[in-house]
Structure 1
């Protein structure tokens, strides 16, 4: 499978499994939590509040990992591990594009100044447990 086909498979898995795990670094240790992810132009986005500990963690160490996919018993579930560099985006168009009414639990709307997006630019993506039964990796 060539690099472009692997990228398409990564995008397919992520579009079908928007809830995943985000791991950042806090005091030199992993800090893991569930997040909602969106992918556009092979960049991952996840909404968060501007005043959360995640933002401070990213400022101190922008290296993150995300894990998406794995939903059944694990025997044949493809899943993706993405590692990359994270930054914070307040881009109004992106915030509007990714806005979901379920976010009203945390924000007043897409223009809420506390609503930001964590933007993860992948450095590598690994597809695991695929039908090919071999781990496939893309280095970007």
Structure 2
């Protein structure tokens, strides 16, 4: 499969799935949690609070892993495993664009300074469980 075809498959999975697992590094061990993801192309964004331990973890080690796409019964669900670098994004434009009323339980509004996004820039994306096909890897 060409890189362009692989990228299209990956974008299709990323665009259809918002709930995934973010793993960061804590004391040299993986630390995973469910997060909500938004995407612009292959770049992912996930809202979080500035005063959480994941921010401390990412400031100490920006390498992260994200799993997206594995749902339903799991037997036929293609999913992606993304290895990348996380950074803090405080863009007011992004905060306004992605604001959802459900965020009100954690934030005072889109202007809340504690409301930020982690931006994940992929380095390697693997697509797995594609109906018996071998996994494929897109290196960026």
Q: Which TM class, normalised by the smaller chain length?
A: over 0.9
- The reply to whether residue 54 of structure 1 matches residue 71 of structure 2 is no
TM-score (norm 1): 0.96
Contact 2:11 2:41 in 1 (8 A): no
Offset, 1:41: 3.0
- Unmatched tracts of structure 2, length 5 or more: none
**Bigger mean CA deviation after superposition, 123-132 or 113-122:** 123-132
Question: Is the partner of 1:96 in helix, strand or coil?
Answer: helix
Query: How does the TM-score come out when normalised to structure 2?
Result: 0.96
What secondary structure does 2:120 align onto? strand
CA deviations over 1:30-78 (Å, ceiling 9, x no partner): 0000000011032110000000000000000000000011112222100
Give distance in 2, aligned partners of 1:5 and 1:99: 32
Q: List gaps (5 residues or longer) in structure 1.
A: none
The number of residue pairs the alignment matches comes to: 140
> Which residue of 2 is the match for residue 130 of structure 1?
130
